[in-house]
Structure 1
Amino acid sequence: MNWIDWLVMLATLIGIAAFGIWRTRHIRSSETHMRGNDDLNWTVIGFNIMATQASAITFLSLPGQAYEDGMRFVQFYFGLPLAMIFLSIFVIPYFYKLKIYTAYEYLETRFGLNTRVFTASLFLIQRGFSTGLSFFAPSIVMSELLGWSLNFTILFIGGLILVYTYIGGFKAVSYTQTLQFAVIWLGLFLAAGLVFYQLPPDVHFVDAVNIAGKMGKINLVDFKFDLSSRYNIWSGIIGGAFLAISYFGTDQSQVARYLGGKSLAEGRMGLMLNGLIKVPMQFIILGVGVLVFVFYLFNQAPLHFNSNNVSRLSGSAAEQYKILETQQEKVFEQRRLAVDGMMKAMRKGDDEQAKAAQIEVQTLHATELQLREDARSLIKDHVPDAATKDTDYVFITYVLQYMPIGVIGLLLAMIIAAACSSGASAINALATTTVIDLYQRLYKPAASDQHYLRMSKFFVAVWCLISLAFAFSAQLFDNLIQAVNIIGSIFYGVILGVFLAAFFQPKVKGRAAFLAAILTQIIVIVVYVMSEYKMSLNLFGWVIPVRVAYLWLNLIGCLLVMGIAAVLQGVMPEKEKEEVVG
């Protein structure tokens, strides 16, 4: 990487971090460290919400997802605007009225301590794991860039986030996220513009879209109702809405953003801003991935995008890899000619010739995909510990090989800034929830403010270490953006069900809600495992295949909690005795 790129990247990152540390240099109380001073306006809240969600995974994994699978992932976000409206009307007013630190405090006032501790624990488990994945994503960039081992790079990134969060807490995160979000949008538009600019001169935007469509990449909406399909409009609007309601309404990393607002109105407007901008933002990111796919139809792509894996091959394995590369080069040349023919036929309106060329292109593309699979198998056979799924490396490989000097540095700063932003928000939320919902409530209810400030910083360090441990397991997942959403879907539906029962089922009491949450969490995990491994349920001789896409787990978890709680409440004695955990 050129020294100018280093300068741009370091100046951007150091400048943002220094600004946050400078603005929070006078923090002396636990409240300011964990929650802030309730002084954020709606634009800052909206940008903070989006920056918290837009992790490095978004900018590394999402273009790779589109490169491999097209635009259909955008359906995942179709339910988000509906979720923002629901939260603004029904959820935020409760939180502001109670003046709480965390969302789970409310549950104690409604269902007792057991339920508060259980739901807070579910949040800590899933958010700790997801944060580990967000540590892993920027480590891909740094390891690819510097040639460092991936494990060392994970430790380095985790250390940066630890220092950043330990010093400034909530306020440092809030002050810097607006700057980080500006860098993210600038990098995003530059990436989209430059990918298109680097297509061959005779390939216009309409040509690129038509080619992507012929290759099955512009598959925006699937109206077929299929529980086993991960992405269709029904799972996106229904399952996606329930996931978004749970994430933005019960995940402390997001709840803290709008609870830090000046007023209820500011918090609501911040959420609505997120609902307005988020879907177009994800559309653009996926569009960049599709343009990269089209770019590589005219420019030969690496046989395997993770160059570190390739560099570990030696001897006969390296020779076999070169043979595969030679075969790929021949296929690429044939496919490029076929793509040119298909583009010219489409321009002339010759549907028959365009169809014939399309079949040829798709056949050659399938051949290349098989060569890629052969390369992955070769790497796995000779480097058993290598993670051979390489879609998360597609975008960063393109950036490093084809982007102009200066832009590379800015795009890398964008990715790392997104990691610091989402990582710091998550770690701060994990520490705050641990202190407020577990430590203070169960062990030290009457300690000094300085004691809670010290414990807040202590748990920042603890959760950084736990997230690092999770980060080392991230290579087991095929695609990081899917892994994050799968983990969330397993837990968020149950958490949301507890909150909705608290809001809308006044007859349900604490014991029924607590038992319903435990039973439902077990059921959801069983359903996910059976679906993932294509298992069947045998009921009195009836064999029922279990095939449920992960987005539906949010709806299933939510409805089961509410339904089971209602049934249990109906069979329980009128007078209910709450038990105290701890």
Structure 2
Amino acid sequence: MPQTLDWIDWIVLIATLAIIVGYGTWKTRGSKNVQDYVRGGNTSKWWTIGLSVMATQASAITFLSTTGQAFSDGMGFVQFYFGLPIAMVIICLVFIPIYHRLKVYTAYEFLENRFDLKTRSLTAILFLIQRGLAAGITIFAPAIILSVVLGWNIITLNIIIGVLVIIYTVSGGTKAVTVTQKQQMFVIFAGMVTALIIIVNLIPNEVSFVDAIDIAGATGKMQVLDFSFDLENRYTVWTGLLGGTFLMLSYFGTDQSQVQRYLSGKSMKEMQMGLLFNGLLKVPMQFFILLVGVMVFVFYQFNPSPLNFIDRSTETVLASEYGDDYRALQAKQDSIFQIKKTVALQVSSNSDNQLNKQLFMLDSLEKNLRTKSKFLIKKAVDKDYATQYENLESEIKSLNSEDETYADKTQALEAMYETAGKDTKTNDRDYMFISFILNNLPKGLIGLLLAVILSAAMSSTASEINALATITSIDLYGRNLSEDKGDDHMVKMTKWFTLGWGVIAILIACFANLAENLIQLVNIIGSIFYGNVLGIFLLAFFFKHIKGNAVFSAALITQVIVIIGWWFEWMPYLWLNLFGCILVIFIAHLLQPIFKMSTHGN
């Protein structure tokens, strides 16, 4: 993997980022009051809102991790987004009219009007915790991946990405975030469409796009819908429609990083149309990104792929005492590739069930080898691991008996890998797409795709620190301190809070650790908090007899229970959204009669 970029790539990368940052800073200079700085002057059109909402959600993790998810597990992850259109309609009918009528700057202002100050402050703090962590991860994700594949210092990358975002976000506030996100989404769309076209053209000429889909389907990568009720399965139609709807309701309806995007709308109609635009386009967009990852998988059916996409990990294990074992795995993979290439060509010209089964078997066997390679890498980088899990060796060997299918072997190996405790530094799914870009795309286009990754990181991070600063300024600082503050003071303090949260996000990025899959990590963090927050808002909207003390106490109890449930893996993380939402509503109903009877009740 190249450690340096060609001069053309540097020009494309630097020019793209400089134009975005410069345009955002110039276009939004001189925000004089809170209305302009926090709500963007309420001038945004529906298409600007829609693109801004999409850009906020589409972080670098989306492109790096989602493509890696598709490469490994196929298209099934798109089910995660099935609840999004439903959530958009509900938010347009329920949330937006209330926010617009009350002319709020933040979603949590409404909670004080409905309940009390402490409930508003608690909900704002819950947001600051989860979104503050997520802001660091959105910087860290592209930084650590680029540091590994390009050899750059990760601290430097964290600072570069963070500082670029801080420059225009501090300067122009919400409007700066919104106007730059239009350019960022253009770069993202152009880059991903170009990448797909190039990938398809890199596949052998005798294999058409339809043939490529057939090959992906033969290995199970094109299975989009799963109607099973298996709670062990993270992504099914039901988790998407139920858990996903509650997650999206909370994210787009109560998360200030999204609420602030559409509160900048020129009118309620513009806000609603912007969200509906996002609802219509988001699922196809995610499908397209996953398809890019699947096409990379097809590309590697006809071209040799590395056993591990992290070069430094491979170099480490090859230089260790386990080097010969790793080379043996590489040799096996080479032999599998020769067979796989032949079978894939046969599948492309003759879709036969037996050939499909053979290709699926070969793919399962290659997964088996990748899993074994992770064991060896873990041993090479962690000496404690080698002694702690040495009994796994015999279990792995026992899986090689002829009476077990390759798929069963792979599942068992991966189950043991999870049991052993994942060394996240050896997980290479998130590195797959960037590795492919650097090794296979033409000069100039590499710079464009790196600009896509960094633009996505900047767009989501800008939205997050903008929202964090707004909540800190409006909901905590401005509301909990008694002295009267003018517009100039509040704008100045919001800028300082923006700078402060930007620095905190950079620090979190510098101390973060990779998870099994970055896109899952962000969604897990959200799922731990979002259900509870959504339940608080639903109590405010629909249960008028429930008062502040009951909601405040129920929210605290619910958050503790949800964290315990996540820690002990009571359910797949998406269900935590539904669980937390129902739980806070249920507990609030139990507590309300108690507080009503108490002299301290409402």
CA distance in 1, matches of 2:172, 2:323: 49
Supply the AA of the counterpart residue of 2:547.
K
Provide the C-alpha distance between the structure 2 equivalents of 1:379 and 1:303, rounded to a whole number of angstroms. Answer: 15
Q: Does residue 1:351 correspond to 2:353, yes or no?
A: yes
- Tell me what 2:555 maps to: 517
**CA distance 1:102–1:146, change in 2 (3 Å):** same
Partner of 2:420: none
User: Could you say which residue in structure 2 is the equivalent of 1:541?
Assistant: none
**1:204 is matched with which residue?**
208
Would you say the 8 A contact 1:132–1:469 is kept in 2? yes
Q: 2:403 is matched with which residue?
A: none
Letter aligned with residue 425 of structure 2: A
Look up the match of 1:85.
89
Q: Which residue of 2 aligns with 1:446?
A: 484
Residue 376 of structure 1 is matched in structure 2 by 377
Residue 5 of structure 1 deviates from its aligned partner by 1.0
Can you give the 5+ residue segments of structure 1 that lack an aligned partner in the other structure?
Answer: 532-545
Name the counterpart of 2:198: 194
Do the aligned residues in 2 keep the contact of 1:63 with 1:290 (CA within 8 Å)?
yes
Letter in 2 for 1:336: Q
Q: Secondary structure at the match of 1:66?
A: helix
Q: Distance in 1 between matches of 2:428 and 2:454?
A: 19
Q: Quick one: which amino acid aligns to residue 546 of structure 2?
A: V
Which of 570, 575, 580 is matched with 1:557 structurally? Answer: 580
| Counterpart position of 2:25 | 21
Q: Note if 1:495 corresponds to 2:533.
A: yes
**Alignment match, 2:466:** 428
> Which whole-Å CA distance do the structure 2 matches of 1:209 and 1:74 have between them?
16
Please list the CA deviations of residues 358-408 of structure 1 after superposition, one character each: whole Å capped at 9, or x if unmatched.
Answer: 365145414432443244324423699982212111100100110111111
Matched pairs, number? 561
Instruction: Determine helix, strand or coil for the equivalent of 1:219.
Output: coil
Contact 2:214/2:351 (<8 A) preserved? no
**For structure 1, which segment, 361-370 or 254-263, has the greater mean C-alpha deviation from structure 2 after superposition?**
361-370
Q: How does 1:57-456 map to 2 (within 5 A)?
A: 57-144=61-148, 146-310=150-314, 313=316, 316-317=319-320, 320-321=322-323, 324-325=326-327, 327-344=329-346, 347-355=349-357, 357-358=358-359, 360-362=361-363, 364-381=365-382, 387-456=425-494
Cα deviation for residue 330 of structure 1 reads: 4.4
In the TM superposition, what is the alpha-carbon distance from 1:354 to its structure 2 partner? 4.5
**In 2, Cα distance between equivalents of 1:575 and 1:497:** 24
Distance between the aligned counterparts of 2:102 and 2:579, measured in 1? 29
Residue in 2 aligned with 1:504?
542
The secondary structure found in structure 2 opposite 1:477 is coil
TM-score of the aligned structures, taking structure 1 as reference length? 0.92
Match of 1:484 in 2: 522
Kept in 1, the 8 Å contact 2:75–2:294? The answer is: yes
Deviations 1:405-457 (A, max 9, x none): 11111111111111111111110100000000000111254122222122111
Greater CA deviation, 252-261 or 340-349?
340-349
TM-fit CA distance, 1:291: 1.0
1:50/1:274 contact within 8 Å kept: yes
Q: Would the aligned equivalents of 1:338 and 1:360 in 2 still touch at CA under 8 Å?
A: no
Sequence identity of aligned pairs in percent? 47
Letter in 1 for 2:66: L
> Does structure 1 retain, via aligned residues, the 8 Å contact 2:346–2:355?
no
- C-alpha distance in 2 between matches for 1:359 and 1:503: 50
Hey, what's the Cα distance between the residues in 2 that align with 1:4 and 1:386? 34
| Cα 1:575/1:420, change in 2 over 3 Å | same
Query: 1:114 deviation in Å?
Result: 1.0
> Aligned with 2:253: secondary structure?
helix
RMSD: 2.2
The 1:174–1:361 alpha-carbon spacing in structure 2 relative to 1, beyond 3 Å, is: same
Call closer, same or farther: CA 1:69–1:363 in 2, change over 3 Å: closer
Q: Distance in 1 between matches of 2:473 and 2:288?
A: 38
The equivalences for 1:36-75 within 5 A come to: 36-75=40-79
Structure 2 CA distance for aligned equivalents of residues 550 and 386 of structure 1: 19
Q: Identify unmatched segments of 5+ residues in structure 2.
A: 386-422
**CA separation of 1:179/1:333 partners in 2, compared to 1, >3 Å: closer, same or farther?**
same
8 Å contact from structure 1 (residues 304, 375) kept in 2: no
Aligned to 2:595: 572
| Length-normalised TM-score, structure 2 | 0.89
